[in-house]
Amino acid sequence: MTFLLAVIIGVLYAAGTYLILRRSMVKVIFGLIFLGHAANLMIFTVGRLTKGAPAFVPEGMEGFTEPFADPLPQALILTAIVIGFGVQAFTIVLFKRTYQTVGTEDLDKMKSTDQLPGEEL
Amino acid sequence: MSRIIMLPILLPLCTAVVMIFFRRLVVLHRFLNVAGTALMLGVSLVMLGNVQSGGILSLQIGGWQAPFGISLVADMLSSIMVVATALIGFTTALYSLGTIDKDKEHFFYHPLLQLLLMGINGAFLTGDIFNLYVWFEVMLISSFVLLVLGGKPEQLEGAMKYVTLNLLSSSIFLAAVGILYGIAGTLNMADLAVRIPMLGHKDLLSVVAVLFMITFGIKAAIFPLFFWLPASYHTPPVAVSAIFAGLLTKVGVYAIMRMFTTVLIHEEAALIHQLLLVLSAFTMVVGVLGAVAQYDMRKLLSFHIISQIGYMIFALAIQSPLAIAGALFYIVHNIVAKTNLFYISGLVNRLKGSWDLRRIGGVYRFYPMLGVLFLVPALGLAGIPPLSGFWAKFVVIKAGIDSEHYLLVGIALFVSMLTLYSMIKIWNEAFWKDDPRGEGSVEDEGYLLISSMKKVAMVVPIVILGSVTVVFGFWFEPFFVIVQSAAVELLDQGNYIQAVLGERP
pLDDT surpasses 90 at A57 = no
Distance CA B89, CA B260 (A): 28
pLDDT surpasses 50 at A56 = yes
* Confidence class for position B445, pLDDT limits 50, 70, 90: low
pLDDT surpasses 70 at B248 = yes
Residue A61 lies in a domain: no
Chain B's closest residue to A88, CA to CA, is B167
Inter-chain touch B296–A117, beta carbons under 8 Å: yes
* Confidence class for position B57, pLDDT limits 50, 70, 90: confident
Inter-chain touch A43–B177, beta carbons under 8 Å: yes
Q: Which helix (H) or strand (E) holds B74?
A: strand B71-74
Residue B2 near residue B58 (C-beta atoms within 8 A): yes
Comparing CB atoms, the residue among B130, B168, B231 nearest residue A76 is: B130
Collapsing DSSP to helix, strand or coil, B65 comes out as coil
Which residues in chain B touch residue A72, judged by CB atoms under 8 angstroms apart? 181
Count of pairs with CB atoms under 8 A, one residue in A, one in B: 116
Chain A's closest residue to B145, CA to CA, is A90
Distance CA B116, CA B149 (A): 14
Instruction: Report how far apart, in Å, the C-alpha atoms of B448 and of each of B78, B253, B318, B355, B372 are.
Output: 42, 41, 51, 19, 21
Comparing CB atoms, the residue among A32, A38, A113 nearest residue B154 is: A113
Residue B105 near residue B85 (C-beta atoms within 8 A): no
The mean pLDDT of chain B is: 88
What's the pLDDT score for residue B105?
84
Residue A92 lies in a domain: yes
pLDDT surpasses 50 at B38 = yes
Q: For the segment B25-37, what is each residue's pLDDT rounded down to a tens digit?
A: 888 988 999 999 9
What's the pLDDT score for residue B268?
67
Chain A's closest residue to B358, CA to CA, is A121
Residue A113 lies in a domain: no
Residue A110 lies in a domain: no
Residue A65 lies in a domain: no
Please give the share of chain B, as a percent, with pLDDT higher than 70. 96
* Confidence class for position B460, pLDDT limits 50, 70, 90: very high
What's the pLDDT score for residue B135?
94
Stretch B70-96: mean pLDDT: 92
Chain A's closest residue to B142, CA to CA, is A87
Chain B's closest residue to A98, CA to CA, is B156
For Cα atoms B39, B41, B47, give the angle at the middle one, nearest 5 degrees.
Answer: 105
Task: Report the domain count for chain A.
Answer: 1
- The structural domains of chain B, with segments of one domain joined by +, span 2-499
What's the pLDDT score for residue B362?
81
Which residues in chain A touch residue B172, judged by CB atoms under 8 angstroms apart? 39
Backbone angles phi, psi at B296, to 5 degrees: -85, 120
Q: For the segment B294-344, what is each residue's pLDDT rounded down to a tens digit?
A: 888 888 999 999 999 999 999 988 888 899 999 999 999 999 999 999 999
Q: For the segment B347-380, what is each residue's pLDDT rounded down to a tens digit?
A: 888 888 788 888 888 888 888 888 899 999 999 9
Residue B47 near residue B6 (C-beta atoms within 8 A): no
Lowest mean pLDDT among B54-68, B82-96, B277-291: B54-68
Minimal CA–CA distance to B313: which of B240, B219, B447, B380? B219
Which residues in chain B touch residue A95, judged by CB atoms under 8 angstroms apart? 160
Look at B201 and B487; give whichever has higher pLDDT.
B487
Domain that holds residue A77: 2-50+70-102
**What's the gap between Cα B115 and its chain centre?**
16
Look at B352 and B95; give whichever has higher pLDDT.
B95
Q: Please tell me the pTM assigned to this model.
A: 0.93
Residues of chain A whose beta carbon is less than 8 angstroms from a beta carbon of chain B are 20, 25, 28, 32, 35-36, 38-40, 42-44, 46-48, 70, 72-73, 76, 79-80, 83, 86-87, 90-91, 94-95, 97-98, 101-102, 107, 110, 112-114, 116-117, 121
What's the pLDDT score for residue B443?
52
Collapsing DSSP to helix, strand or coil, A24 comes out as strand
Which residues in chain A touch residue B359, judged by CB atoms under 8 angstroms apart? 121
Distance CA B306, CA B318 (A): 19
Q: For the segment B208-243, what is each residue's pLDDT rounded down to a tens digit?
A: 889 999 999 999 999 889 888 988 888 899 999 999
Give every CB contact of residue B464 below 8 A, 6+ residues apart in sequence: B91
Minimal CA–CA distance to B155: which of B93, B241, B90, B227? B241
Minimal CA–CA distance to B207: which of B254, B289, B296, B268? B268
Q: Is the dihedral of CA B11, A94, B254, B500 positive or negative?
A: positive
What CATH number is attached to the domain comprising A90? 1.10.287
Distance CA B470, CA B465 (A): 9
Residue A74 lies in a domain: yes
pLDDT surpasses 90 at B463 = yes
What's the pLDDT score for residue B283?
93
The amino acid that residue B386 corresponds to is P
Please give the share of chain B, as a percent, with pLDDT higher than 90. 48
Inter-chain touch B178–A20, beta carbons under 8 Å: no
Q: For the segment B133-165, what is each residue's pLDDT rounded down to a tens digit?
A: 999 999 999 999 999 988 888 888 889 999 999
Orientation of helix B476-491 relative to helix B493-501, angle to 10°: 70
Q: Which helix (H) or strand (E) holds B423?
A: helix B406-426
Residue A38 lies in a domain: yes
Backbone angle region of B52, left / alpha / beta, with phi > 0 → left and psi within -120 to 50 → alpha? alpha
Residue A36 lies in a domain: yes
| Neighbour-count burial of B287, counting CB atoms closer than 10 A to its CB (0-12 exposed, 13-18 middle, 19+ buried) | buried
β-bridge mates for residue B126, sequence order: B72
What's the pLDDT score for residue B440?
54
Which residues in chain B touch residue A82, judged by CB atoms under 8 angstroms apart? none
